[in-house]
Amino acid sequence: MKKNLLYVIIAIAMAAVIFGLGILASSITERKAEKEFTYKPVVKIGENEPRNDVWGENFRREYETYLLTEDTTFRTKFNGNAMRDALEEDPRMVVLWAGYAFSKDYNQPRGHRHAVTDIRNTLRTGGPLTPDEGPMPATCWTCKSPDVPRMMEEKGITEFYIGKWAGKGQEIVNPIGCLDCHDPSTMNLRISRPALIEAFERQGKDITKSTLQDMRSLVCAQCHVEYYFDKTKVENAQYLTFPWDKGSTVEDMEKYYDEIEFSDWTHSLSRTPMLKAQHPDYEVHKLGIHGQRNVACADCHMPYISEGGQKYSSHHLVSPLKYIDKTCMVCHRESEETLRNNVYEHQEKILENKILLEDVLVRLHLEAKKAWDLGATETEMKDILSGIRRTQWRWDFSVASHGAAFHAPIEILRIMGNAINIGSETRVKLARILAKYGFNQELSYPDISTKAKAQKLIGLDMEKLNAEKQEFLKTIVPKWLVEAKERESKWKIIRY
């Protein structure tokens, strides 16, 4: 019996050792969480709190990565975060946007932290010296700041869309951040901008029924979409509206705009009623293979990071190529170099056709101007202007969004092929009109080798525009900042 007892003791001892090994293995594989794993708020976040640093006290890791959107050094081959002058890099666009603010100034996009600074600094918003001065309407602020949902809550949505951009500068000082996408009490993703909610409603859909995975794209789709300002809805208001009622392909949205006879501006050379595509990132993404596989924006632009036993979403919204090991490689088993080069190759091919298409458009605008100058009639030019509008809308849809060459290269190249075809067919017709008016030769391609030359060609007085902007930055913006500081200093922060 003693032996039996010994066996039992040995068995128990072995069980204990095995149990211990299990504990050890678990500790190694799961990595013990640090203390702060449990969410312990430091401050109480108010229901309209626009200050990102206040949120940051409770969510340090998310906030620290969000601050990285200030970093403007990362670049992909053709795109990047740095302040690069897109018009200098490709002055054709100056001609394409003649008569429209984008011809004055257009830079490569930068991170969310720069949103407010950049909209103040760009020549597109001009140099208004009074709250009622243009050129831009208040609606232009909509996507720039968490002060926007705060103001909409405090003053009403329609009220927000009324008046000039210069009238709300003192209210909007915090760059795109926490309140734009999160519910301050639950931290759940939420839609803070009415335009997206309303677009869903008009299609008979309730956005609150969206899945979490859909929400991980929809919070981005509040701003990263095609939109226009509806001047017919409420008097004096430019009501932010998404043109999705017929669908969201390039053809669907064109049909929508054509039916309401909308145009963003009239081209100053060709006299075409033009459409400006904004940045239909969400629409383009949905047309590509990642969108079709229900990969969300956040899956690649906000990859999970594991730090100190915690897993959290990076809020350094940037090209996924910056963190290939945490983005692409979650699904794709190729080297970083291979994956990066795959993206570059697609970008190169699309860039090639983009330039072809832009040259067609430059020629179209100038040849149309020539036809007008020679005495062509409205009737003769009707088809021509329609062709120019359709060509440039397709071009702009293809190039205006971030990462279109990655998100949906096949759809983008299909659209570009269509656009080159429409534009060129229009040039054939224009050649006949020009011949009729005695000009039967090639109109020489203009010297637009620099931004300055292109801006001179379309008649912009850049010296004046720059001087107005400097005056505005010197006299108006400092006042805005003082007023904002005074307002925010009154908001108490409750600490736990």
The site for a second copy (CB under 8 A) is made up of: 3-4, 7, 289, 292-293, 334, 342, 346, 349-350, 352-353, 356-357, 360, 409-411, 413-414, 416-418, 420-421, 423-425, 427-429, 431-432, 435-436, 440-442
Of 26 and 440, nearer to a second copy (C-beta) is 440
Contacts of 338 (CB under 8 A, 6+ apart): none
Contact 419, 391 (CB under 8 A): yes
Least separation in angstroms between residue 311's CB and a second copy is: 23
The closest alpha carbon to 386, from 268, 275, 230, belongs to: 275
Q: Which is nearer to a second copy, 60 or 432 (CB)?
A: 432
Q: Least distance (Å) from a second copy to the CB of residue 366? A: 13
Q: Which CB sits closer to a second copy, 43 or 431? A: 431
CB 55 within 8 A of CB 45: yes
Q: Kindly state the smallest distance separating residue 5's Cβ from a second copy, in Å.
A: 12
Judged by CB, which is closer to a second copy: 236, or 440?
A: 440
Q: How far is the CB of 420 from a second copy (least distance, A)?
A: 5
SS3 304: strand
CA nearest 196: which of 232, 236, 148? 148
Q: State the Cα angle at 355 between 353 and 361, rounded to 5°.
A: 105
Residue placing its CB nearer to a second copy in the complex, 326 or 436: 436
To a second copy, the closest distance from the beta carbon of 395 in angstroms equals: 12
Cβ-based nearer residue to a second copy, 338 or 475: 338
Q: Give the Å distances, CA to CA, from 361 to 94, 151, 169.
A: 11, 41, 36
Contact 145, 50 (CB under 8 A): yes
Angle (CA) 60 224 226, round 5°? 165
- CA quadruple 71, 72, 73, 76: dihedral positive or negative? positive
Distance of CA 379 to the CA centre of its chain: 38
Residue 245 pairs in a beta bridge with: 247
Q: Helix 250-259 crosses helix 378-400 at what angle (to 10 degrees)? A: 140
C-alpha to C-alpha distance for 45 and 25, rounded to whole angstroms: 40
Which DSSP string corresponds to 222-285?
A: TTSS--EEESSSSTTB-EEE---BTBSSHHHHHHHHHHTT--SEE-TTT--EE------HHHHH
Please work out, in degrees rounded to the nearest 5, the angle formed at the alpha carbon of residue 260 by the alpha carbons of 256 and 263. 90
CB of 141 to a second copy, least distance (A): 38
CB of 410 to a second copy, least distance (A): 5
Nearer to a second copy, 151 or 381 (CB): 381
Nearer to a second copy, 329 or 356 (CB): 356
Query: Is residue 135 reached through a cis peptide bond, with omega within 30 degrees of 0 on the bond before it?
Result: yes
Cβ proximity to a second copy: between 432 and 485 the closer is 432
- Minimum separation from the CB atom of position 11 to a second copy (A): 11
CB 216 within 8 A of CB 297: yes
Nearer to a second copy, 99 or 288 (CB): 288
**Count of C-beta atoms within a 10 Å radius of residue 183:** 13
Alpha carbon separation from 234 to 149, 231, 238, 240 (Å, rounded)? 19, 7, 8, 11
Nearer to a second copy, 113 or 389 (CB): 389
Cβ 488 to a second copy, closest distance in Å?
Answer: 50
> Between 293 and 490, whose beta carbon lies closer to a second copy?
293
Minimum distance between the CB of residue 432 and a second copy, rounded to whole angstroms? 5
Least Å from the CB of residue 493 to a second copy: 49
CB of 416 to a second copy, least distance (A): 5
